Structure 1
Amino acid sequence: MSAIWYECKVKYKKTHDTGEQKITTDTYLLDAVSYTEAEARISEEIKAYTSEEFRIMNIKVANFSEVHPFENSDRWFKAKVSLVALDEESGKERKTNIYLLVQANDVKEAFENTTTAMAETMGDYTIPSITESPILDVFPYFTGEEEQLEKFNVIEKAETEEKVTKETEVL
């Protein structure tokens, strides 16, 4: 099941680096199954950021096909990717646009990260545009299974290493 991404705009008092408090509206992205769940989740996430009152100004479905975080990057970019396919009946090329949200530090890095994200794609594609997104942070939904799977993989790796060590000692 693919995620439905919701763009949430939240207005609240934010303390800036100077110590001054200003009312600001920030945009966040999260995945949820409904608007109701998106509202509940963004409320919980924002409570961790501020003790002040906040107001959810807007929630809308975002048109991102995929979200790709990259380490050591602090900004989010919207990459338009045109998938190129040949229409067998007419013999003409057909383009289908998808949008990726890619984390990077600048536009050049966003292009490189988009190319990395598309590396497994079998078909032809072009990247006609990359623009900086107003999205401040992304909150993907975790069921807890991800953490359990990671623990299982760590345990399995340790058991394999132990087995190899014992077999080496026998030889």
Structure 2
Amino acid sequence: MSGMWYECKVKYRKTDETGNQKVTTEPYLVDALSYTEAESRINEEMKAYISEEFKITNIKVANYAEIHPFENADRWFKSKISLLAYDEESGKERKTNMYVLLQANDVKEAFDNTVQVMKGTMGDYTIPAISESPIMDVFPYFSGEEDELEQMEKFNALKASKLENTVEVEDTMEFDAEVVSENY
């Protein structure tokens, strides 16, 4: 992967659950070397998903340091990670922010996945923010060489995996009747 990610907004006509068609614009992420390549790649990728006409309305450089797909997750989350470093010259602590895009089903899982991604980090860090990203899908670049084929298949399998069994958690919290009646 090149490490340069481009966010491409694609406008097209989408059919919703009720059968109505509406025009929608959705952001996608592509790994490319230039704006031109990003445009070419998003056109190629979208042709596989959208049979009708579509339009690329915007392409911009995305500020993600890393992209991490996770199994059984269907949404993308943006984690802000503040790396802490001590500046010996000034004697002050410096923060450097980086953003990581990762898959999860909710914010708590996104936090856990961020901690897992940062597990091997030598320095101190904090996670000041996690938010759901509007990114619909991520298309990494693979050259097609044999050694990258396995990497591409693994990335796509992780990205495409869905949560199979959802376990319903029973709420066993009890509240004092007086407190509940005071609040309502």
TM-score of the aligned structures, taking structure 1 as reference length: 0.84
Aligned residue number for residue 118 of structure 1: 118
Amino acid at match of 1:83: L
| Pair 2,120 (structure 1): closer, same or farther in 2 beyond 3 Å | farther
Alpha-carbon shift at residue 21 of structure 1 (Å):
1.7
| Pair 130,26 (structure 1): closer, same or farther in 2 beyond 3 Å | same
| Pair 68,53 (structure 1): closer, same or farther in 2 beyond 3 Å | same
Alpha-carbon shift at residue 86 of structure 1 (Å):
0.4
Compute the RMSD of aligned alpha carbons. Answer: 1.7
Superposed counterparts of 1:3-22, under 5 Å: 3-22=3-22
Which of 131, 149, 153 is 1:147 aligned to? 149
Amino acid at match of 1:76: W
Q: Deviations over 1:103-146 (max 9, x none)?
A: 10000000000001111111000000001111000000111231
Secondary structure at the aligned position of 1:37 is classed as: helix
Aligned residue number for residue 162 of structure 1: none
Q: Deviations over 1:81-105 (max 9, x none)?
A: 0000000112111000000001100
Secondary structure at the aligned position of 1:103 is classed as: strand
Greater share of helix residues, 1 or 2? 1
Gaps of 5+ in 2: 153-184
Cα distance in 2, alignment partners of residues 87 and 48 from structure 1? 50
Cα distance in 2, alignment partners of residues 117 and 134 from structure 1? 21
Cα distance in 2, alignment partners of residues 103 and 132 from structure 1? 10
